[in-house]
Amino acid sequence: MKIIMLGAPGAGKGTQAKMIADKYQIPHVSTGDIFRANIKNGTELGKKAKTYMDAGELVPDELTVDLLMDRISQPDCANGYVLDGFPRTIPQAECLEKALEERQEAVDFAIDVEVPDDSIIKRMSGRRACLNCGATYHIVHIPTKVEGICDRCGSPLVLRDDDRPETVKNRLAVYHQQTRPLIDFYSSRKVLHEVDGTQSMEKVFADIVKVLGE
Ligand code: ADP
Ligand code: AMP
């Protein structure tokens, strides 16, 4: 099962992708997490990516596409995966489609998690992220058991540099300009399914399971 998560930054793609990965036993592949791991480890890629990420811009396709293609060629992706944060541009979607076509494969489901922009700004300022294991929480909606500490791995949580309100506004503008056109792209491939992302995370997940099947 090859699944793509679509939706604005902060719509809940990562939250849902982790739940999908657990239920269907497929890897959760997040390009944002891969970049953040590179930043944490001080790699050249991390240094390059950070300048774009901190400004709320997209990392250029040249740095992103090969990285993602390498990841989905790993043995653990043989039975499928859930992509979170990729593709984010039409050229990225075309590269993915071409690479899959070469193996007589295609994306099975593109799940669009819909949340209006005004709710997004509130969600992002309350998001707290674990840079160690990739878990995300919300200070009001999805709190941790101990404030500021990751439930999963015990590491301290941070407000991501790119979740500050000034940067979020630019990320939303970039989303509407460069990523939103993917809705039409996947609709024309007949794999698009929209879910209402303003509901509780459990309800959003139940709607996704209706699409993917038990
Ligand atoms: P994305 O991966 O799309 O950027 P996240 O999954 O990180 O978004 O979610 C953004 C923020 O909103 C996080 O703080 C997360 O805990 C919170 N969140 C996710 N789903 C919901 C929901 N259904 N209701 C309220 N808050 C949510
Ligand atoms: P995310 O964790 O998905 O919110 O991504 C955080 C940031 O990483 C984005 O704002 C971009 O700067 C960068 N990024 C992640 N995925 C991609 C992608 N597919 N293409 C370009 N930039 C990306």
Residue 106, token pair as written in the block:
């295609």
Residue-wise pLDDT tens digits, 43-54? 999 999 999 999
Residue 166 has pLDDT above 90, yes or no: no
Active site residue 171: yes
Catalytic residue among 18, 88, 123, 128: 88
Q: Which ligand is nearest to the CA of 179?
A: 2
Other Cβ atoms less than 10 A from the Cβ of 207: the count is 17
Residue 122 has pLDDT above 90, yes or no: no
Residue 157 has pLDDT above 90, yes or no: yes
Backbone φ, ψ for residue 9 (5° rounding): -60, 130
- Mean pLDDT of all residues in 122-134: 91
Q: CA-to-CA distance for 34 and 134, rounded, in angstroms?
A: 10
Q: CA-to-CA distance for 161 and 53, rounded, in angstroms?
A: 8
Active site residue 180: no
Active site residue 164: no
Residue 4's alpha-carbon distances to 20, 123, 135, 196, 199, in angstroms, are 11, 21, 19, 16, 20
pLDDT band at 19 (very low <50, low <70, confident <90, very high): very high
Report the phi/psi class of residue 182: left, alpha or beta, with left for phi > 0 and alpha for psi in -120 to 50: alpha
State the average pLDDT for the chain: 96
Residue 3, token pair as written in the block:
């699944």
pLDDT attached to residue 161: 86
Residue-wise pLDDT tens digits, 202-211? 999 999 999 9
Residue 130, token pair as written in the block:
């674990």
Can you name the residues that pair with 140 across neighbouring β-strands?
Answer: none
Residue 214 has pLDDT above 90, yes or no: no
Residue-wise pLDDT tens digits, 34-76? 999 999 999 999 999 999 999 999 999 999 999 999 999 999 9
Q: Which of 214, 9, 207, 10 is nearest to 111 (CA)?
A: 207
